Chain A
């Protein structure tokens, strides 16, 4: 996370520098403008964010221990299987790279509030949705699922509002749920309490919100590349 934050600042700095329209491009900026490297950097950052969010949100899901004796921090962070955070990271990197790509293909660039503050707000709401699903006591699971679905759609409406975003979100959420279901069938892990057709019904909602969030981050990161490339074209 720290690394990715650092990269983020560095990238912003680079964009700022290059937006000044100077010809004094150091090797660093040329690295940023290099397409492959840029892709790599973005992927790494998204991966880092994904892993971090997976770890933190997993902690949220950890049920409150009865004991006051402070449990082992490390063990509670890595209470889930070791492969879950990397999977989340990879998935988020893919999604974050896919979104701007699809935007470019469809030719309808994302217009709505392309600022970091908006992205931060989106992430905060996503964490809030997770928090609600983990900590708030709902009367029954239907209520929980409906609330979460409403919240997720609200998230999409507030921060995305693009049809491609919605479609991709739904598709990926369904795919991810399916994958999880397969894993469960194969006995890799078990839900604590499956409520609907052997799955937790809130899982797709969480997936959907996560896809929207990561897509938002990915688009914001891609903005830097766009800027730099535009700058380059302009200068040439």
Chain B
């Protein structure tokens, strides 16, 4: 044993033990894994969040010195970007100007015209300010020309000079242009972009405050104009700045200004990702998602595909996070752009291992315990997993030695990520997988339980699955389970489904509710519209005690009635003779007794004015500088404390500055109307709000009425024909409209219908009483009634002699022979029950269980129960009913020859095979016996009528080929000529015109060792299936046996063959085999059912099988993979038919259901009759003309389904 093999074994064993561990303790292991993930990710909290927002750092303004380039020892809280000089120092002069006292003679334009006009003098002042030998020109940031794309801004933004921005730039800093400007607002707004914009607009740039705070508006309530003059300095001269500040403050003192002046804010800008860089990034992410999609798509055969895919993605992502966290913990700070290398990391780490694990675990034998499955799956893939990981590690380590820092870092991340990914796979994903597999097992168990309950107790209480029954090769992908027939509903149209989904989840209501809560929360939290201040202002303005509500330091004004400016001014620190208009105005207001006080502008300085730039978009500075091709990416600017300037203007001054056209703007609003307006506005807002609320409530109510599912039942169509209870409703109480499909009931039989045959035009049925009725398949009219033993009219003793046998339990026809023997002459069958299991007659092939036997039958049984073992339980009928050997039937042939065991209809000839072995040919239209053949004595269990040949399978295993000789082609026989009795001795009259003779051409005596159970003929082949586990294929012409197909391990119970030579067979072992008729080879072999396969149908693409377990399975014909299965009601599994390639019809309790084969959707359920709930459909025959015939009890039902077909097309 080489080292390699030993290693391999050890690894495999270790993985096996690990798998056992994971599957045994899933919850603790998942908890442990989560804790370790969180622990490893904890260092990530220290990392800065990725983003492009600017970062700030505040230093004192007093002891500021330009930070050096070299990182110093005591970094402290200094960020690492705070090195070297900034791009610029920003000095802002915040101007607040108002015309006061506000006079009733003023027009709205006066609010901002004269305050804006003062900017020019301020600019002049700033430009000309000189401290010692330094002027602004030497200190300011010199800009060259604008970017080529900004030609239209050339006239506005400064070029080739100081970067000094103010509203005056609109007028090229020229007073005369401003004075001659007829419409200031238009000038300001002509550069505004249309629509919504996120970055700074020109107005923001020039005014330096957010647009709504400037006060440059005709409807400004506060009548205070705010703007800034922004100066960009290239070097910081503290003394110059201080002198400028002092000068401006001296000129325009701000009274109550308490702005801090000792802080300098440094703002660092990250680099922004342009679209050009974004496109490759987005591409890599798209590729990443495609990779994840294509990978996780391969996860199959698990309970929850989505869950496992999610777990796989979580595994990879958290391993990445862990790797970054661990690297950070050990001192490596990521320098790479996380966003752009992330996809590559994911791709390198990959999802392959996870998929391999899943596949390996899923492919372990299903019947093992979950623990063992996980362990086996793990250990079988252990070697390849380890090998792959080693290879990847080696590759990445090679990459590490490229000695390129970026690649080294990438490799480091990848290595740690790989290791942590391995850890997570082993602990997290394996455990999740084990939980999933366990869930699937449980679901499997639950699904099987009802069927199990109906089965006889298993021979030995062994493991879940009997050993001898080979497990199905693949667990079913999914099963459609119907809870009750009442829930069967139409496949709803999509829009209705959407509406139902909305209604069921109350989605709309919830979204609205959540939205409202969030909205209110945001409103309260941020107070975006300044609601509180607005309300406070309104209250203070409206109340007659408005002045009392003012801050106390302003409230001193009433003390000086009449207004004594000088005395007020003496209090102020600045001895500038500028009058204090606020106080004055208040004085005026107070001095006017009874008069409504005018709202006079108040200029207040708050802490929010300290850093006015914060209220701007964070792109304000980058965009300002980018106009001059100066980038702020990865650089910083220093913002100096703002210089407050307060301007008060006299009304006279404002009037003087008026432009002639100003007065034409906006009607003069007197104080009265203003007040009224404010009142009105308040009321209007309130009324509008109320109205909107009412409308909203009404709208919601209407929506609710529309969406409310409960109304569907009440407002739905009132059906006259049916009671509501009859209608199938879905869980929302919605009843589908009465379908246009109305079944046609064919009544007439007195007993349960045994045999059914049709050729598309006619329909022949035979009941237990032996009565044959022929119906028109189009109209449902009863054409002919052939009573029992029609040619011996008086021979009705069968009914009299043994009435019990005939209404016996509605088993299929082949059970009937057992009845007489049971009751007639062999009451003591107990030994037979035990011994005759081997030679099973085909009696139970299509017998469903859970059948309602009907009172009469039960009573009859009770009366005639010979021994306690004779009670006909479902169990026995299901499994192996006691049946006498075939020869027993011959004991009393005279008595029992009347029962028809098989029926075929071709043209207008009915071929009936009787229990006595007699083959009869009847004229379907006339109801006359055309010929009779009594060559065989064993009961005919199955008949096939093809062209002019009849094949009869007998109970003793022989196969008889008959030829029907007629002097006219069969098709011409219809409705023609007098009822020519066949040339038979029993026939009273004889017609020479239509001579029909039925001759035995060949009899294969020992076609099968055991009774033939199924006989099908198509495409010139006759296929028989028998209890002896074999299928035989005969050629119809020469009755030559072509193949004996062996492969089943139980008796054959169902065979399907059609014109395209598709042969499928199902057996008692639950297996379905597909054969190639030409070569006799087995194409595929699948196990689908627990118990017998009761019927089989093939379409072009799939095979549909039903079994005793009431499961209808749909298989892919080419691959043999089970597509899905439909759980039927108990006892209804056997009846199914295929109408078109995509329409399946199944029988249920008193109803038939239509299914979409492609998707497994229930399309429609048609209820056959009022009181047919108890009866289940036992046979179902699909006619050519999109009609189906089904029998339930003594009635036949003819259902036309053209509409369903149309819908499908």
Contact = CB atoms under 8 A, between A and B. Distances in A.
B449 interface: no
Chain B, interface SS category: helix
Contact of A124 (B147, B344, B406): B344
B395 A154 contact: yes
Interface in A53-104: 56-57, 59-60, 62, 64-71, 73, 76-77
B632 A123 contact: no
A76 to B, nearest CB: 4
A68 B279 contact: no
Interface string A7-29: 00000000000011111100000
A24 B901 CA distance: 39
Nearest to B347: A124
Contacts of B347: 121, 124-125, 128
Contacts of B182: none
A69 B626 contact: yes
Nearest to A23: B1100
B294 A147 contact: no
Interface in B299-347: 340, 343-344, 347
Contacts of A57: 280
Contacts of A193: none
B398 A150 contact: yes
Contacts of A21: 1101, 1116-1119
A17 to B, nearest CB: 9
B290 interface: yes
Interface stretch (B269-277, B372-380, B497-505, B1016-1024): B269-277
> Max chain B CB contacts within 10 Å: which of A77, A123, A146?
A123
Contact of B295 (A70, A117, A137): A117
A115 B294 contact: yes
Contact of A22 (B298, B399, B1100, B1119): B1100
A183 interface: no
A136 interface: yes
A147 B623 contact: no
B291 interface: yes
Given A76-B276, A136-B407, A143-B402, A124 B294 contact: no
A131 to B, nearest CB: 7
A3 interface: no
A132 interface: yes
A138 interface: yes
A116 to B, nearest CB: 4
Nearest to B625: A68
B627 A127 contact: no
Nearest to A20: B1101
A188 interface: no
A136 B343 contact: no
B287 interface: yes
Given A20-B1116, A21-B1118, A128-B347, A117 B280 contact: no
Contact of B350 (A60, A62, A121, A143): A121
B276 A147 contact: no
A147 B404 contact: yes
A115 B291 CA distance: 10
Given A24-B1100, A121-B347, A138 B276 contact: no
Given A21-B1118, A115-B294, A120-B290, A56 B407 contact: no
Given A136-B407, A147-B402, A64 B277 contact: yes
A68 B622 contact: yes
Nearest to B150: A69
B403 A68 contact: no
B281 to A, nearest CB: 10
A97 B303 CA distance: 40
A127 B276 contact: no
A59 to B, nearest CB: 5
Given A121-B347, A127-B287, A68 B404 contact: no
Contacts of A115: 294, 298
A233 interface: no
B407 A147 contact: yes
A139 interface: yes
Given A20-B1118, A23-B1100, A120 B287 contact: yes
26 contacts: A19-B1118, A19-B1119, A21-B1116, A21-B1117, A22-B1101, A23-B1100, A24-B1100, A24-B1141, A59-B279, A59-B280, A60-B280, A68-B272, A68-B622, A77-B279, A116-B294, A117-B297, A121-B347, A124-B288, A127-B280, A127-B283, A128-B347, A131-B284, A136-B406, A137-B404, A139-B403, A147-B402
Interface of A: 19-24, 56-57, 59-60, 62, 64-71, 73, 76-77, 115-117, 119-121, 123-125, 127-128, 131-132, 135-139, 143, 146-147, 150, 154
